[in-house]
Structure 1
Amino acid sequence: MIKAVIIDDEVNAQNLLEKTLLRYFPNKFNIVAKCGSVDAGVEAIKNHEPELVFLDIQMPEKNGFDLFQDFKVINFEVIFITAYNQFAIKAIKRSALDYLLKPINHVDLADAIKRFESKNEGNFAQKKLSLLLENLNVNDQNVSKLAFSTVEGFELVHSNQILYCKAESNYCCIKKIGGKTKTATKTLKYVEDLLPVNSFKRIHKSYVINLNYVVRYHKANKEVELTNGEKLPVSFRKEEDFINAILQNK
């Protein structure tokens, strides 16, 4: 069974999550503690050493992110729970961590648990949470280091290393300037939302490019040429926005 701790200042929310877990995932979870504050959650984690923590972000006195200041080594996975704060959600996404929006939907919960179970033991919890705290402390438009979920775990990539991103069904291929390609287990739209808006532009339903690596635009062929020599299509609907973005990015 998965040993878990629930940390939420709302007792009703604690109980609802526990009931949902027990109803939809019978004999899978052992809820060893339900806590109403960060300090109580810290004590519960130290006493019970859970594998998984369901952590509310907005709580009085201390928010969920403050919890990690009490741990030198993080050897548990976290699924964040929140009802607000789009910036916090973006930072969580950038760090390849899972989150659930209140009110919690059992389908979304199932997806998050499936991802938790598919991860390797003792994988990247420490690195992901360290990256999260780093992402929370930088300007939203200038985040350069991103984490993309992959089949193996997650890949850390600086945005200035990305040449372009290409849609592949429900996955996204990330082409780096060195020639390597990584496949993220997320859609192109999901990845696009993580990228700095000043440097990246959607040029086609299948492509988002880094404007810093554009060499020229072939208007007759509606193709953009990148520094590696590749030519990518620009759709009619995206052409005007793309040209304006290039002119502003000089």
Structure 2
Amino acid sequence: MIKAVIIDDEINAQSLLEKTLNRYFPNKFNVVAKCNSVDSGVQAIKQHEPDLVFLDIQMPEKNGFELFKYFDVINFEVIFTTAYNQFAIKAIKRSALDYLLKPINHLDLAEAVKRFESKTAGSSAQKKLALLLENLNVNDQKVSKIALPTVEGFELIHSNQILYCKAESNYCCIKKIDGCTKTAAKTLKFVEEILPANSFQRIHKSYVLNLNYVVRYHKANKEVELTNGEKLPVSFRKEEEFINAILQNH
């Protein structure tokens, strides 16, 4: 049985989540506590030592992110629950953490539970949450590190170390400036969304490029040349957008 704590200031949301867990995952979850604030949630976590915490972000007195300052060691996994919040969701994605949009759909919940079960116990929650809190305190231009989900787990990469990203079916190849390549277990679209928008640009259906490493653009054959000598294609549909981005970036 997976010991779970639900923290949400809305009583109806608590009950709905518990009922959904019981209905679609019979005999898999034991909800040991339902709490309506960060403070009561902290007490419940310290008392019950859950495996998983479902944590609402927007709560009246303290938001969900404040929960973590009460723990020196994070030995539980977290799935955030939230009404749509672009800034918070981007920070969560950059930290390779999980979230569910309210109202919670049982299919989305099933996917989140599947990802939780595939994680190795206690391996990464601390690092991911530390990165999340770091990302929440900076704006898009100052994001330094992102957590890329890989087949093995996740890897922290400084965004300025990324030369370009290339689509490979449902995966994404990350080419770094040191020449090595990493494979993210996510689509190019997902990776594009978590990269800082001021320095990364989609130039083709298969490529997202770091504008800081562009040397020149060959307009005749629609190729961009990078600092490492590689040349990448620029699609006709993306050309104007790419040129404007280069001009704004420099």
Aligned partner of 2:18: which letter? E
Tell me whether 1:243 sits opposite 2:243 in the alignment: yes
- TM-superposed CA distance for 1:240, in Å, is 1.1
Matches within 5 A, 1:79-98: 79-98=79-98
- TM-superposed CA distance for 1:141, in Å, is 2.8
Aligned partner of 2:71: which letter? F
Distance 1:109 1:96 in 2: 17
1:138-163, CA deviations, whole angstroms, 9 ceiling, x for partnerless residues? 12332121111111111111110000
Distance 2:117 2:176 in 1: 29
1:35-84, CA deviations, whole angstroms, 9 ceiling, x for partnerless residues? 11111110110011001000001111111011101000000000000003
Distance 2:74 2:215 in 1: 44
Aligned partner of 1:98: which letter? D
Matches within 5 A, 1:55-66: 55-66=55-66
Matches within 5 A, 1:12-161: 12-161=12-161
Matches within 5 A, 1:173-212: 173-212=173-212
Distance 2:171 2:109 in 1: 21
Distance 1:84 1:69 in 2: 24
Query: What's 1:227 paired with?
Result: 227
Q: Tell me the percent identity.
A: 85
Q: What is the TM-score of this pair, normalised by structure 2? A: 0.98
Query: What's 2:7 paired with?
Result: 7
Aligned partner of 1:32: which letter? V
Distance 2:31 2:102 in 1: 20
Unpaired runs of 5+ in structure 2?
A: none
Unpaired runs of 5+ in structure 1?
A: none
Is this contact kept in 2: 1:149–1:155, CA < 8 A?
A: yes
Distance 1:220 1:139 in 2: 37
CA RMSD of aligned residues (A): 0.9
Is this contact kept in 2: 1:87–1:140, CA < 8 A?
A: no
Is this contact kept in 1: 2:140–2:197, CA < 8 A?
A: no
Q: What is the TM-score of this pair, normalised by structure 1? A: 0.98
Distance 2:63 2:241 in 1: 39
Aligned partner of 2:128: which letter? K
Q: Secondary structure at the match of 1:220?
A: coil
